Amino acid sequence: MNPRLIAKIIGLLLLVSSFMMLPPALVGLIYQDGDIWPFLEGFVSLAVAGGIPFFMFHNMHAELKIRSGFLVVGASWLIVGLAGSLPLFLSENMNLSLTDAIFESISGLTTTGATILTDIDGLPHSIKYYRQQLQWFGGMGIIVLAVAVLPMLRIGGMQIFKAETPGPMKDQKLTPRITETAKALWYIYLGITIMCTLSFYMAGMNMFDAICHAFSTISIGGFSTYDDSIAYFNNSLIEMIAVIFMIIAGINFASHFLAWKSASIKTYLIDTEVKVFIGFLVVASAFTSIQLYLTETADSLYESIRQGTFQAVSIATTTGFTTEPFYLWPGSLPLLMMLLCVIGGCAGSTSGGMKVIRAILLFKMSMRELYRLIHPHGKYLVKINGKTVNYRVLDSVSAFFVQFVFLLCVFTLLLTGFGESITTAFSASLASLTNLGPALDDAGAHYANISDAGKSVLTIAMIFGRLELFTLFILLIPAYWEF
């Protein structure tokens, strides 16, 4: 491990993230809302804090070892998250405690979407914009992480995507180098965001809201500029657009890249993960809608379908927009909602959760074990898209599952220890670990009523979830630090 190299990388990251402060300052200038200074102060302090190590070590050109990768990735998310909290903490309009500011910032950056704010409507435009922008940048970071970095670190079976494209388009390999890949995907990310913005705008949002909501939709974040979230607009067209774009953002960006390159939707049709993802969303929406209708929670069949579909998609993709307080729904619906987010979207998308591909692999693995019970000497292979999955990938996925369950236990126990009810603790831990956002009970509408200790624990849970568990978990074992 090379501390100077790591310092240089993190310095560069801070330097880059200092520029995050300029657009909100501009927004503040346009709307004259008086919250420009926190952003300018943030810009200067981050630029200085990042600039010093970067220029001090700028001639360090050693190759970064894979093993250091874990530390760098973990540290960068933590440090950028802390840096992002600066303007929120400094703003006199908000008057947030440090814990709250960090919670909000990391919830944004990890595209979780849990908020401790209770009066978003009354915030200055610059802050409103900044929160959405945090999620959008977070989404960008996730794409690089998921498509380029994690496969290299061999995290949780993600090596399955390493230089591997679905189906017959094998010749159109994703550009192998990280920067090139990332650039290509960012263009797509930007393109989809612009499309989403325009759609929202045409459906009746004003430009500011359209941009802000497009940011949090495409990044699967779930922040909104209103306390009522999407329910504020009460516009079924907007909801429909949001549903469509949440699904698009929940699909592997590499698939989008290939579809765009080949100008056909065949890429999606032959990809098992996409098919399962869409099928799962349809079933979940239908189940939720029927339940809403049968329990007479919604007024009519149309309302049931509208609410059920929106909420199921929003939660299953781990976005966390709300049109209805799902945490108050009767019977098994709240439990179902919490179980939906465990699976999440496709790998290589901005969504959180366990990821559809892992769920498929785990399920196929379990089925294989069942068959092996009957024919102990039979050879059963787990296949995805017609290709045999390496057993190393399967072991990785198993390890992911074990970590997920273990962390969920630890976080819920800590939260109950800090005095939260079991429903709050269980659902909030799950919602943070899967980067969903809203949970049940005390963590339903917002997280303002959670204790400070609880918020800190959840902040850590969000980073764990975002970094696919392994990245931070590995730092906890002594063997990692042995040379």
Partner 1 sequence: MNQKTPNPVAFFCSFVFLTMSIVQLIPLIISHYETDSSDQMIFSLLSSFCMLLGYIGVKNYHQTFTKISTRQLYLITLFSWLLLGLIGSLPFIFILPDLPLCDALFESFSGITTTGSTILTGIEKLPPSLLIWRGLIQWVGGIGIVVLSIAVLPHLRVGGMKLFATESSDWSNKTHPRANKMIVSILLIYLALTLVCALIYFIAGMGAFDALVHAMTTVSTGGFANYDTSFGFFANNYLLMWTASIFMIFGALPFVFYVNMLHQNTRRNVVDSQIKGFIIFLIVAILTLSIERLFRSDLPLSEVLTHVSFNVISVVTTTGFASTDYTLWGQFAIMFFFYLMFVGGCSGSTSGSVKIFRFQIAFLMLNNQLKRMSHPNGTYVLKYNGQLVNDDIIRSIVAFSMMFALTIAAIALILGLLGLDFTTSLSAAATAVTNVGPGLGEIIGPAGNFQSLPSAAKLLLCAGMLIGRLEVMTVFVILTPSIWSRWSR
Q: Binding residues for partner 1, per CB under 8 A?
A: 66-67, 70, 153-155, 291, 331-336, 339, 362-363, 365-366, 368-376, 391, 394-396, 398-399, 401-403, 405-406, 409, 412-413, 416-417, 419-423, 425-426, 440, 470, 473-474, 477, 479-480, 482
CB of 479 to partner 1, least distance (A): 4
Find the distance separating the first CA and the last CA of the chain, reported in whole Å.
9
CB of 164 to partner 1, least distance (A): 19
Distance CA 181, CA 203 (A): 33
CB of 330 to partner 1, least distance (A): 8
Distance CA 68, CA 64 (A): 7
**240 versus 474: smaller Cβ distance to partner 1:** 474
CB of 363 to partner 1, least distance (A): 7
Which DSSP string do the residues of 269-322 spell out, in sequence order? HT-HHHHHHHHHHHHHHHHHHHHHHHTT-SSSHHHHHHHHHHHHHHHHTT----
CB of 356 to partner 1, least distance (A): 15
**Residue 13 CA neighbour count, 13 Å, CB half:** 22
CB of 396 to partner 1, least distance (A): 7
**52 versus 474: smaller Cβ distance to partner 1:** 474
**244 versus 399: smaller Cβ distance to partner 1:** 399
Long-range contacts, 227-232 (Cβ 8 Å, 24+): 227/118, 227/119, 227/120, 227/121, 229/321, 229/322, 229/323, 230/310, 230/321, 230/322, 230/323, 231/322, 231/323, 231/324
Q: What share of the chain is helix, strand, coil (3-state, %, to 5)?
A: 70, 0, 30
For residues 451 and 420, the answer to whether their CB atoms sit within 8 Å is yes
CB of 194 to partner 1, least distance (A): 38
**88 versus 337: smaller Cβ distance to partner 1:** 337
Q: Token pair of 425, please?
A: 């603790």
Instruction: List the one residue out of 363, 156, 340, 337 whose CA is nearest residue 272.
Output: 363
**61 versus 375: smaller Cβ distance to partner 1:** 375
Backbone angles phi, psi at 387, to 5 degrees: -115, 140
CB of 403 to partner 1, least distance (A): 6
**30 versus 370: smaller Cβ distance to partner 1:** 370
Backbone angles phi, psi at 388, to 5 degrees: -70, 135
Distance CA 82, CA 117 (A): 18
**332 versus 388: smaller Cβ distance to partner 1:** 332
Distance CA 242, CA 214 (A): 8
**56 versus 405: smaller Cβ distance to partner 1:** 405
Distance CA 438, CA 427 (A): 9
CB of 371 to partner 1, least distance (A): 6
**263 versus 477: smaller Cβ distance to partner 1:** 477
